[in-house]
Structure 1
């Protein structure tokens, strides 16, 4: 009887962790969904530029990094050890430098709705990178879904580009790969450090690079208050608070499972872009977004060994 009770308790705890992981992942996705519209708001467009995309990328990391120093000191967090430094550096390359900088430059030249559809393959990209890192073997069906998702995104970008791909689309795909790699390495670290410590240490070790670059790219002319509002959001929420929920969710619920919650992100980003930026949603864009959603959802259902 005692053996049955122990087994049941373990099962209940596991199910509880999985549920909490999914809920935290969903909260992170909700916060991240505003990242693309807010980045566009902060940087403006090529026709009406606001803050330099480089300043948005590095400045937000500086703000979050200074907050991270205070958090690590107040909580008495331990210093990373051994190979953890390498994973922290790899995570920083993806989520501190790659994703925000490539995204910031891209949304100067394409609208937030466009960027949201292209970023819709982020869950599949995360799972593709996680599979070899976690020594898992996705089925053929999963790989077919990954290829179909990529084909849909490329097709959408070519359609929006009047029959050809734009440099902004290549930047967006690079941003997706950067974020996916950073998510996976950050999730691995969450098994040794707390989720909050992971993003904080990532930001702190980046400060020797991000601080001088932010100073060099700081605005020298007045910009709109809305641009500073967008900058404040990506600094406090997208770059810091959102990762508290996201990495904790990945650690509790499993990277491959929780990362699929991101299927909601492009739709939320598009919905936010309409009132925030005054962008329009056309029927074909919605069709492509639904197709990407269907492929990612189906890929989530494919077995992974």
Structure 2
């Protein structure tokens, strides 16, 4: 009791006429704010701003690696589509690949208990779905019925420059003149190479190819923008799931109308374009674009036509053109220049 009384003595004499001589009671410690003390949890972390990024050099290297991995996955798309056409019709192949990719994406979304995307993101997801889930696969598959793999690579040769232009218009980012000079030079190298290999003649599938170019560039641009607001795998995942009301009935109708002749090549081609190109490829591609920017990532695709030719030799048995090594060196120089150029 004496200890208690002495401890409270300052409080008792605080009402004395000479307050200046009496020590004031200790101020209570400020209560921690809910924002500082509450554990945000996984859902809040995903919904909030991204965590502090690594050092720019490291983040840049990771972004380049992810985008380059996406380019490698995309470079196998045309050879895999040719294999898939051995077993399926063009409409069946596109519809079934989208359904299979959507099932894979849906499983990941369910396992991660990912909430539905915000309503404000739906228009952008619709552009991604129309461009890279439906538009590009359908138009290129129709083109590959009459065009060779090397000729179809002209689409990818123009795609980096088109994506960079659309990204500048959509996001307002303005790459430097050095970037544009290297991008145009790279596109010119790829165009000259592919046109030379095709003899300078336009095929009947060129209208499909140029249409695929435009819709894919739009899908890449919008997907890269959304990948800054949500994880890249969720961007392509929700785009695929949103297409299910269209791709499910389309698959049933196409499989009923087009003959199916299952072969090992056909099944492997279908599995790759669904799991490799459509889901995994776009997942790492959008992550890379979010890390290093859409214009820089898009220029890595200058290497895609040459990689496609390599796969065409190894997978389809086509011959490698003599000019391919020279074109590869020119493309690598242009890619290096675009990656070093500043915004």
Same fold (TM over 0.5): yes
2:226 maps to 1:168: no
Distance (whole Å) between structure 1 residues aligned to residue 298 and residue 200 of structure 2 = 32
> Which residue of 263, 278, 293 corresponds with 1:224?
263
Distance (whole Å) between structure 2 residues aligned to residue 118 and residue 74 of structure 1 = 36
Counterpart in 2 of 1:7? Answer: none
1:283 is paired with a residue whose SS is coil
1:83 is paired with a residue whose SS is helix
Contact 1:124 1:296 (C-alpha < 8 Å) held by counterparts: no
Counterpart in 2 of 1:214? Answer: 251
Which has the higher Rg, Structure 1 or Structure 2?
A: 2
Counterpart in 2 of 1:74? Answer: 111
1:185 Cα deviation from its structure 2 partner: 0.6
Residues 289, 213 of structure 1: alpha-carbon distance in 2 compared, 3 angstrom cutoff: farther
Distance (whole Å) between structure 2 residues aligned to residue 284 and residue 257 of structure 1 = 26
2:91 maps to 1:25: no
> Which residue of 302, 309, 318 corresponds with 1:263?
302
Aligned residues: 290
2:276 maps to 1:234: no
Residues 148, 29 of structure 1: alpha-carbon distance in 2 compared, 3 angstrom cutoff: closer
1:137 is paired with a residue whose SS is coil
1:144 Cα deviation from its structure 2 partner: 5.7
Q: Give 5+ residue unaligned stretches, structure 1.
A: 1-9, 45-49
1:135-161 residue CA offsets vs partner (Å, 9 max, x unmatched): 023455655666666666666666555
Larger mean Cα displacement after TM superposition, 84-93 or 115-124: 115-124
Report matched runs for 1:36-115 at 5 Å: 36-44=78-86, 50-115=87-152
Distance (whole Å) between structure 1 residues aligned to residue 239 and residue 53 of structure 2 = 33
Larger mean Cα displacement after TM superposition, 204-213 or 221-230: 221-230
Distance (whole Å) between structure 1 residues aligned to residue 325 and residue 73 of structure 2 = 21
Residues 14, 162 of structure 1: alpha-carbon distance in 2 compared, 3 angstrom cutoff: closer
Report matched runs for 1:125-204 at 5 Å: 125-139=162-176, 159=196, 162-204=199-241
2:59 is paired with a residue whose SS is helix
1:263 Cα deviation from its structure 2 partner: 2.3
Counterpart in 2 of 1:248? Answer: 287
TM-score by length of 2: 0.75
2:114 is paired with a residue whose SS is coil
2:238 is paired with a residue whose SS is helix
Distance (whole Å) between structure 1 residues aligned to residue 207 and residue 330 of structure 2 = 20
Contact 2:102 2:244 (C-alpha < 8 Å) held by counterparts: yes
Contact 1:266 1:289 (C-alpha < 8 Å) held by counterparts: no
1:303 Cα deviation from its structure 2 partner: 5.3
2:55 maps to 1:13: yes
Distance (whole Å) between structure 2 residues aligned to residue 158 and residue 15 of structure 1 = 37
Q: Give 5+ residue unaligned stretches, structure 2.
A: 1-51
Counterpart in 2 of 1:277? Answer: 316
